[in-house]
Chain A
Amino acid sequence: MHTAPTLEELKKGGPKVYEKIYTAYKEPFYAFAKAYTSETIGIEEAYQEAIISLYENVMNRKITSLESSLKTYLFAIGKYKLFGQLRSEKRLVPITAVELPETVDLEEEPLNDRQQKLKASFRKLGERCQQILELFYLNGYTISEIKDIENYENENTVKAQKSRCLRQLKSLIKP
């Protein structure tokens, strides 16, 4: 990867973008982490978790602009994860707190009951519904963009289809 992906690419590019990030920054991250530990399993785990946290914060719209470089975000999260791991193993870590970018949230909240049911039932929807709901809620495409990508007649048609799909999903999770 010669240039880092933009925020739009991170939102819309799917897992492939994050795989490319993984490959591009792995060596520098390992070089950075080896100052604190020589155990590659721990470094690998912290690195993968950092990329997953990056994904989550982009998709949750907690990161709305990349004010620092992508590498800065990733390494800050990775350092936080690594230090957390070392502390849990009762290993010594530097006293200075890790400075995370302001909007990043690393709290892992388990899914509530309704969220679990939605996750389990989502793939029971037809392909068209899955597509439109993912484009909007996951990848952050606007109604106007969805109209163009999916060749809908107009924006009202997109909204109507989206509403139908939401109702369908709701009926799937009703007891």
Chain B
Amino acid sequence: MTPETLLEKYFTHGLTPEEQQVLDAYLETHPEQAERFAEEKDLQKALIADGKEELRARLSHLGKTASSKEEEHSRRSFIKYAIAAAVIIGCTLFAVKSFGPSTENTDRLYADYFQPYRNVIAPIERGTPAVTTEEKAFESYELGQYQKAAKQFEELSDGAAVSYYKFYRAMCLMSLEQHIQAVAILEDYPRSDQDFYDKSRWFLALAYLKTANKTKATALLQSIVKEKTYNHTQASALLEKL
């Protein structure tokens, strides 16, 4: 294995102890390469730390959602729940039979592809309190407090020179399953903010799926693939499944 191959394998699959020894011996005699390698390892650590923070926030949100759902459920009587479930199932079966393909597939695809877009405006440093209104809004967002964050972004949007508060508000609304409102924001997202405009189209396509607008979703995804804009690879994969 060449040093270049070993270096690639280090970052992609990890090395066996024997391979690590060979790499270490090579780096000892190639200080410039060793310095570059150290910088790349630092980058990997930084990206993992970033990913950990995001995962921590998501799991925290999942945990809170699960426990509040459990409390809600225990308050209902069994008989009321059973009757409600029977009525819902009956109506759903009727709708499926009458109106063609169910929404189960699109709901599942949405769940597989939707992730609220990362906070790239005001990343929150652990241990550093949020001070400005913007920082507080993004702190709420990173903690998965979407109801609170949506309101904060709405207030920030009023009269703001930048458009991305609207984008992040849409992310909150999608996380809260309020897709009709999210569609309204994303459809109107200004082209002048090119970076977030490209992203808004991806999320708009997903929101169309959730509002049973498969035709619009398909057309938008095709456009994203053709223009190779944000998430075009995922758009292509999603189109194959639709």
Shortest C-beta distance, A11 to chain B (Å), equals 9
- Which of chain A's residues have a CB closer than 8 A to the CB of B107? none
- Which of chain B's residues have a CB closer than 8 A to the CB of A151? 228
Q: Is the CB of A122 within 8 A of B47?
A: yes
Shortest C-beta distance, B10 to chain A (Å), equals 7
- Across the interface, B43 reaches (CB within 8 A) one of A26, A137, A140, A143, namely A137
Q: CB within 8 Å of A: which of B196-224? A: 198
- Across the interface, A138 reaches (CB within 8 A) one of B10, B48, B59, namely B48
| Number of residues from B at the complex interface, CB < 8 A | 42
Q: Is the CB of A122 within 8 A of B46?
A: yes
Q: CB within 8 Å of B: which of A29-82? A: 40, 44, 48, 51-52, 55-56, 59-62, 64
Q: Does A164 contact B (CB under 8 A)?
A: no
Q: How far is the CA of A166 from the CA of B39 in the complex (A)?
A: 9
User: Contacts A15-B51, A48-B59, A138-B51 hold; do A115 and B12 have CB atoms under 8 A apart?
Assistant: no
Q: Is the CB of A16 within 8 A of B11?
A: no
Shortest C-beta distance, B15 to chain A (Å), equals 8
Q: Is the CB of B118 within 8 A of A123?
A: yes
Q: Is the CB of A16 within 8 A of B14?
A: no
Shortest C-beta distance, A9 to chain B (Å), equals 12
| Number of residues from A at the complex interface, CB < 8 A | 46
List the 4 closest pairs (A to B, CB-CB), nearest first. A61-B14, A118-B46, A119-B46, A123-B120
Q: Which A residues are within 8 Å of any B CB, using their own CB?
A: 14-16, 18-19, 22-23, 26, 40, 44, 48, 51-52, 55-56, 59-62, 64, 111-112, 114-116, 118-120, 122-123, 127, 133-134, 136-138, 140-143, 149-151, 166, 169-170
What are 29 A-B pairs at a CB distance below 8 A? Answer: A15-B55, A19-B58, A44-B63, A48-B59, A48-B60, A51-B55, A52-B59, A60-B44, A60-B48, A61-B10, A61-B11, A61-B13, A64-B16, A111-B49, A115-B45, A115-B46, A116-B46, A120-B125, A122-B47, A123-B118, A127-B195, A133-B47, A134-B47, A138-B47, A138-B51, A140-B12, A141-B12, A151-B228, A166-B39
